[in-house]
Amino acid sequence: MRGRLLNIPAIGRAAGCVLVAAAIIAAAVQFHRHGAPQPLPTSWVASRPDPLAAAMAHCQTLGMAAENDAACQAAWAENRRRFFNDLPTHEAR
Protein backbone atom coordinates (compact mmCIF):
# COMPACT_ATOMS: atom_id res chain seq x y z
CA MET A 1 0.00 0.00 0.00
CA ARG A 2 1.54 3.27 -1.12
CA GLY A 3 -0.26 5.73 1.13
CA ARG A 4 -3.39 6.35 3.02
CA LEU A 5 -6.52 7.21 1.12
CA LEU A 6 -7.20 10.33 3.19
CA ASN A 7 -4.09 12.33 4.02
CA ILE A 8 -5.55 14.49 6.80
CA PRO A 9 -2.52 16.82 7.30
CA ALA A 10 -2.37 17.60 3.57
CA ILE A 11 -6.10 18.34 3.47
CA GLY A 12 -5.70 20.63 6.51
CA ARG A 13 -2.84 22.54 4.88
CA ALA A 14 -4.82 22.96 1.67
CA ALA A 15 -7.89 24.15 3.55
CA GLY A 16 -5.75 26.64 5.50
CA CYS A 17 -4.27 28.04 2.29
CA VAL A 18 -7.74 28.40 0.79
CA LEU A 19 -8.99 30.24 3.90
CA VAL A 20 -6.03 32.63 3.89
CA ALA A 21 -6.50 33.34 0.18
CA ALA A 22 -10.23 33.96 0.73
CA ALA A 23 -9.47 36.40 3.56
CA ILE A 24 -6.97 38.32 1.39
CA ILE A 25 -9.46 38.52 -1.48
CA ALA A 26 -12.26 39.66 0.86
CA ALA A 27 -10.02 42.40 2.32
CA ALA A 28 -9.01 43.57 -1.17
CA VAL A 29 -12.64 43.73 -2.29
CA GLN A 30 -13.62 45.63 0.86
CA PHE A 31 -10.87 48.22 0.44
CA HIS A 32 -11.57 48.59 -3.27
CA ARG A 33 -15.29 49.10 -2.68
CA HIS A 34 -14.87 51.86 -0.11
CA GLY A 35 -11.86 53.53 -1.72
CA ALA A 36 -9.59 55.97 0.07
CA PRO A 37 -11.04 57.72 3.10
CA GLN A 38 -12.16 61.28 2.52
CA PRO A 39 -10.05 63.95 4.23
CA LEU A 40 -11.63 65.64 7.20
CA PRO A 41 -12.98 69.11 6.58
CA THR A 42 -10.66 71.79 7.94
CA SER A 43 -13.09 74.68 7.72
CA TRP A 44 -13.73 74.61 11.46
CA VAL A 45 -10.04 75.20 12.14
CA ALA A 46 -9.90 78.29 9.96
CA SER A 47 -13.10 79.70 11.44
CA ARG A 48 -11.51 80.16 14.89
CA PRO A 49 -8.07 81.74 14.57
CA ASP A 50 -5.76 81.30 17.55
CA PRO A 51 -4.09 84.56 18.58
CA LEU A 52 -1.35 82.61 20.34
CA ALA A 53 -0.47 80.80 17.11
CA ALA A 54 -0.23 84.14 15.31
CA ALA A 55 2.00 85.53 18.05
CA MET A 56 4.24 82.45 17.95
CA ALA A 57 4.54 82.77 14.17
CA HIS A 58 5.47 86.45 14.55
CA CYS A 59 8.13 85.56 17.12
CA GLN A 60 9.52 82.93 14.79
CA THR A 61 9.96 85.53 12.06
CA LEU A 62 11.85 87.80 14.47
CA GLY A 63 14.51 85.16 15.05
CA MET A 64 17.05 85.97 17.78
CA ALA A 65 15.52 89.42 18.34
CA ALA A 66 12.48 87.67 19.83
CA GLU A 67 14.45 86.94 23.01
CA ASN A 68 14.23 90.59 24.03
CA ASP A 69 10.66 91.17 22.81
CA ALA A 70 8.12 91.41 25.65
CA ALA A 71 5.24 90.20 23.46
CA CYS A 72 7.21 87.10 22.49
CA GLN A 73 8.11 86.36 26.10
CA ALA A 74 4.43 86.62 27.03
CA ALA A 75 3.45 84.34 24.12
CA TRP A 76 6.04 81.76 25.13
CA ALA A 77 4.84 81.87 28.75
CA GLU A 78 1.24 81.33 27.60
CA ASN A 79 2.35 78.49 25.33
CA ARG A 80 4.15 76.79 28.23
CA ARG A 81 1.11 77.29 30.48
CA ARG A 82 -1.20 75.67 27.91
CA PHE A 83 1.23 72.82 27.28
CA PHE A 84 1.83 71.92 30.91
CA ASN A 85 -1.83 72.31 31.90
CA ASP A 86 -2.82 69.85 29.17
CA LEU A 87 -0.43 67.15 30.36
CA PRO A 88 -2.00 64.29 32.33
CA THR A 89 -1.14 64.33 35.99
CA HIS A 90 0.33 61.31 37.73
CA GLU A 91 -0.65 60.82 41.33
CA ALA A 92 1.99 59.76 43.81
CA ARG A 93 1.44 56.29 45.19
Strands (E), the chain: none
Task: For residue 64, tell me if it sits in a domain.
Answer: yes
Helix-, strand-, coil-residue percentages of the chain, each rounded to 5: 70, 0, 30
pLDDT in tens, 26-57: 999 988 877 666 666 665 555 667 889 999 99
The domain in which residue 77 lies consists of 50-86
Contact in structure between 70 and 87 (CB atoms under 8 Å): no
CA 52 to chain centre: 25
Q: What is the pLDDT of residue 1?
A: 47
Task: For residue 16, tell me if it sits in a domain.
Answer: no
Task: For residue 25, tell me if it sits in a domain.
Answer: no
CA 85 to chain centre: 23
Task: For residue 10, tell me if it sits in a domain.
Answer: no
- The pTM assigned to this predicted structure is 0.43
Task: For residue 57, tell me if it sits in a domain.
Answer: yes
Q: What pLDDT band is residue 91 in, cutting at 50, 70 and 90?
A: low
Task: For residue 29, tell me if it sits in a domain.
Answer: no
Task: For residue 73, tell me if it sits in a domain.
Answer: yes
Task: For residue 15, tell me if it sits in a domain.
Answer: no
Domain count, the chain: 1
More confident residue, 37 or 82: 82
